[in-house]
Amino acid sequence: MGWRLSGGLRLDELIRDLEARGEAFVIATVVRRQPPVSAHVGDRAVITADGRIYGWVGGGCAHDLILREARAVLASRRPRLLRIAPEANGEDIEEEARTVATMACPSRGELEVFLEPWVREPQLLIFGESPLAQALAVFGQVLGYEVTRLVQRMPSPEETSGIRLTPLEAMPAFSPNDELYVVVASMGHYDEEALAAALRTPARYIGLVASRRRAQALLNFLQQSGWSEADLGRIRAPAGLDLGAVTQEEIALAVMAEIMQERRRAMAERMVSLESTSPRARDPVCGMEVEVATARYHVEWGGQRFYFCCAHCRQAFLADPARYTPAVAQPERGQ
């Protein structure tokens, strides 16, 4: 369906534009509804990383819940089904790929929204022309990485196995994204230059495939060249988990396993950071959790600030504040 936004821009055009710019976003689609709710099955919205919503997937009662879950989806890089229902009784339920949250609107409607993240593929940048570098590139492709190998000698098309190859001198033009992993597997040919180039990137991981003796010699060289201890601390040397690897293919597998471990650790940290930086308050009228930073409805009463999920709850509170004052409304976590 070609949803049209303000200014005449269609939702699919917005998606293509965000993809072209490499900006992360979530596509939210209503997959089930139980009236009365304002959204209909098939309604869609694009939610950007900074919390803007384009399109329509529900009104005020669902808005904050969908936005909160979209941020979690971007942090985890995994799709999720959000069910908003009155029987949740104020207690959100987290399950594998599914969240059940309270629908606190007086309408008592029900909504299910599928949230699908779009993020750029993680990048795997490999220096080297060895069989290990080739095996690492193949593993990276299978696991969904955007793989680039930097080489001195450009091989024939038959040797590439579909891997993107780039001349070593083109490294300054390489455009990293926010999920870059680098492995130096040049096996003594241009290790120093490769490590220096890797340190100039915002890579989350820099692995050096070398013996411990060779690795220490390279670290000493880099230190004498002016790189700081903090810089050198970014380098994993020798790279790879201790799997008892012997062959070059096995070593490549061990390196890929370490990269995967680092990536999952970073995802877990993003989720923890999301929780700690997003203090929430409980709506004193309906009991729904509201994200303080993005709450659109709040009021000062009796020297205290109260937050609400929608205009209806705020109006009900203002009509009889004493009735709702005992309810907990201050931020509950992330202080």
pLDDT at residue number 59:
75
* Cβ atoms within 10 Å of 220's Cβ, excluding its own: 11
pLDDT at residue number 270:
74
- To the nearest 10 degrees (0 to 180), the angle between helices 191-199 and 212-224 is 60
pLDDT at residue number 292:
83
Q: Measured between alpha carbons, how far is 22 from 14 in angstroms, rounded to an integer?
A: 12
> For residue range 183-234, what is the model confidence (pLDDT) as tens digits?
999 998 999 999 999 999 999 999 999 999 999 999 999 999 999 999 999 9
Beta strand ranges found along 65-184 (DSSP E): 80-85, 93-95, 98-102, 110-118, 123-127, 146-151, 164-167, 180-184
pLDDT at residue number 210:
95
Q: Give the domain ranges of the chain.
A: 6-119, 123-271, 281-324
DSSP 180: E
Between 46 and 155, name the one with better pLDDT: 46
> For residue range 63-87, what is the model confidence (pLDDT) as tens digits?
878 988 998 899 888 999 999 887 6
Q: Measured between alpha carbons, how far is 328 from 280 in angstroms, rounded to an integer?
A: 11
CATH assignment of 123-271, among 1.10.3720.10, 3.40.640.10, 3.40.50.720, 3.40.47.10: 3.40.50.720
Weakest-pLDDT range from 108-117, 191-200, 290-299: 290-299
Weakest-pLDDT range from 108-112, 127-131, 269-273, 298-302: 269-273
> For residue range 236-271, what is the model confidence (pLDDT) as tens digits?
999 999 999 999 999 999 999 999 999 999 888 876
Q: Measured between alpha carbons, how far is 91 from 243 in angstroms, rounded to an integer?
A: 43
pLDDT at residue number 68:
86
Average pLDDT, the chain: 85
The phi and psi torsions of 44 (rounded to 5 degrees) equal: -135, 160
- Which tokens belong to 97? 């790929």
